[in-house]
Amino acid sequence: MQICARKQEVRDRVTGLRRQGQTVGLVPTMGFLHEGHLSLVREAARRTDRVIVSIFVNPTQFGPNEDLTTYPRDPEGDLAKLRAEGVDAVFMPDVEEMYGARGDTFVEVPGLSGVLQGALRPGHFRGVSTVVTKLFNIVQPDVAVFGEKDFQQLAIIRQMVRDLDMPLQVVGHPTVREEDGLAMSSRNVRLAPEHRAEAPALSRSLAAAAELAASRPDIAGLESAIRVVLAEAPGGKVESVDIRDAATLAPLTGKLDREAVVLLAVRFGPVLLIDQRVIAP
């Protein structure tokens, strides 16, 4: 497994693979890898000949009240896990390599970036879109795989790829969960023990929403039912419960009459957890 700290190194590696007629999959990450990330790697390996993983804690997607320095990191552990998965190369740039001393260009998908989590975290998705665009330009993969847990992020990246005619396929992969239903996330290790015990309320509320959806409830009633289950986690501050059109993320009103996505954001102390589930009547 080749470890690349420089853009040119990973470009040279991909050029060599192309000469061999190999297809390339990319899994962008911020490191501190868990089983959820590794499932993305396996999906990329299923779809392409060779897999490249990027590990980069991207500063441009952190807001002023979000501490970049406390984001968990385990580079040696990450590399050991990726070697075991048979990854071809890992791109691990530093901030200067990624952005340069005078980087001043950003990519944004305004219609999708300013709502939901984007409204709670201004500038976050501009940072995500920009760094993902850079990774696509550097690696030039055939396929890129992202987790569906970050549903809005996935929608933004797909829109960006369509609008900018980027020649790759964006694949969403189902959320991987702990045994108690909590969506796997690098943030979970920062939860206090009492908050970790309460956090599965998110997945329970989504399961309740999926069950209730069969009766074609009105959207307001569905949201109310979700909040009842979330109230079982008194240590969590519910920042948002959104029920949106699964295809467009447009708001829904009245009866549930189409496939929808439930998007949750709940804060436990300093840790913001998100989760999602697609539901249908």
Residues designated as active site: 37
Distance between CA atoms of 48 and 36, rounded to whole angstroms?
19
Per the annotation, does 98 bind a ligand? no
For 169-206, letters b (16+ CB in 10 Å) and e give ebbbbebbbbeeebbbbbbbebbeeebbebbbbbbbbb
Answer yes or no: is 91 a known binding residue.
no
Has 35 been labeled as part of a binding site?
A: yes
Tell me whether residue 37 is annotated as binding. Answer: yes
Is residue 129 a known part of a binding site? no
85 assigned to a ligand binding site = no
Residues in the chain: 281
- Residue 176 assigned as binding residue: yes
Q: Is 36 marked within a binding site?
A: yes
**Integer Cα distance of 59 and 226 in angstroms:** 33
150 annotated as ligand-binding: yes
* 86 among annotated binding-site residues: no
Residue 32 annotated as lining a ligand binding site:
yes
Binding-site annotation, residues for beta-alanine? 61
Mark the binding-site residues for ATP, compressed into ranges. Answer: 30-37, 147-150, 176, 184-187
Binding site, by residue number, is 30-37, 61, 147-150, 153, 176, 184-187
Residues placed in the known binding site for (R)-pantoate: 61, 153
